[in-house]
Structure 1
Amino acid sequence: MPASAAVAAAGGEEKAAEAGGRELLYCGTVRFDIMGRKVKGGHEGRGNLVSPTRLRPLVGVDIRFVASGCAACHCVALSADGRCFSWGRNENGQLGHGDTLLRNLPTVVSELSKYNIIAAGVGRKHTVVVTDEGKSFAFGDNKYGQLGTGSLKTGTVVSPVPCLVTEVTNAVCGADFTVWLSSVEGSSILTAGLPQYGQLGHGSNNEYNAKVSSVSLVYDPQPHPRAIAALSGNTVVKVACGTNHTVAADSSGFVYTWGFGGYGRLGHNEQKDEWQPRLVKIFQKNNILGPNDIISAGSASSACTAGGRGQLYMWGKVKNSGDEWMYPKPVMDLRFLANCEIP
């Protein structure tokens, strides 16, 4: 989620209720201009919604999906009829409205109105969406090629542009990189953007010395979406991105992680970076992920449900103090809920 913000789709009222739809509730900051920044005068706490609140432009709108992120200061909501709404910080055009004006309330991305948008992901300063026809569009910061357009010429893209991927089923964003899922055989997962910690999964961080006379390390960006070769024999069906790491699950229910390894967020009982997907050993045999299980990634942690009973596992930095969890552990406070039968 964005810093100090939370969004959720809930049972709505008025038109949404009449249609059996869901309405968006929002809590947290609405001051996107100062979110995560030091402000003179100590006014950081002003403009906060302290309880779930309806946002006026979305009252009565059947919301089916909300995209936010641990590094993002903007949000995207998708309606049942395929419209794409965005709001928040917009200094890099990450809202897709053709400008860089901040918007505190959800606004329809008009240039996507002719498409039925079914999925979306948001990064630190960029957004990627997916249509029901398998096309993908992106907008926002493109410094590291995270828009997947094959070009670095435009640092900021304020309107949707097509990504170089086909038959897309989902798109998820890390801070400065993007992951696409595709139905193309042998290329079920593709990545583009910043490779600094190996989060693109291609076996390298693309590091090189920019100056011969001194140590000045830079990381060669990847603007062309590229299939992860290590997973070419797998069908990846679920993916989640933290700031600089990725978690994915394949059709067999196995979980893989790669990227930045600090605080044990990759779940391998060590903190080294992984430059290509590595199997998380605990999620095998009788503890694989089923069709209804979920995966998630935060800025310094990861989580998933597994084992067919909804038991939640977490790893990485899961609390403000104390030791990090270097490998997946069941959250025992939720063990009763995991064993409940839901009628």
Structure 2
Amino acid sequence: MAAALYHPAHGYYTKHIATVGGHRGDFATSATLSEWLGKAIAAWIKAEVALRGSALKDALGRSHVIEIGPGSGMLARSVAKAAGWWFRRSLRFHFVEVSPVLRQEQRTLHPDASWHDSVAAALQACGGRAIIYNNELFDAFPVILLRWNLPMRNWEEVYVMLSPERGVREEFVPLEESRPGFRVPESFRREWPDGQRVEIHAAWEPWLADWQSGLKCASMLSIDYGGRGESLYQRRPGGTLRAFFKHQRNTGSSIYKLFGRQDLTADVDFHRLQELGESFGWETVASETQASFLERLAPGAVAAGRESAFIAQPGGAGEAFQVLSQRFGKCA
């Protein structure tokens, strides 16, 4: 999965993605459907700056805003627009982006922003003080795919093999053999229906660890589709891993086709993400649905039109997407 998404020469995000949203894209996001998510994030940024004051500002009185994985740049444009001219003057935008194609698209919308190859580099440019947000970032991290073997009562890791005779096929290796000493999350340590598949975003922890030392004072907002713990897999025996190509959702063996040409994604376990953040010293401020977040910070979204209602209403994207708000540092 890591190679399919991020291989320098053949990866989806590093080489083949055309854009996000629209007829040229393979998938849409809440940000490409409506400006109301940007309005809510702008309100959140204003609230964090007001609450934490000069601790989030540099010597020139500016607040540095980092978006990780800004896609087409549409979300940042909505955020900047909703911030208003006067407040926007005090903001400096930084983008962390691995895709050369998307960087070029972002530059057309944000010529005055700064681009960085990593969060660590962005934080260094901000002096360790920043307001950070991301939308549909954590779902795109590579996963460990597991299958429950009920007769053996153990987890097996799913491997993908390629041979001239049989083509692409799956093989199953007991987890204690494929990854000795690896511990599955607490919520997975029970019996499951035979063949149940789950995903573990093991890459989150080293990625977060890579840039924690550069933090002094920060607020972070993470928005993505997912849930909490084992509830992610209710009525989902095949797990949540799927692919998107030309706005078509592909599951099962189809995820192994079009290597590097389609997006791969798995739902985010927000319980695990929150736990990881707290282990690195982040304080959890709020964990809520996107519907609740929009109702608090952009209460007009539901009445603003069909697309805005879609991302805001409970029962749809408003409930499928979760929002995690965190703070780091005492910032005195």
Q: Is the structural similarity TM-score above 0.5?
A: no
Of Structure 1 and Structure 2, which has the larger fraction of its residues in helix? Answer: 2
Q: TM-score range by the shorter chain?
A: under 0.3
**TM-score, normalised to structure 2's length?**
0.23
Instruction: Considering Cα pairs closer than 8 Å and 6+ residues apart, tell me whether 1 or 2 has the greater RCO.
Output: 2
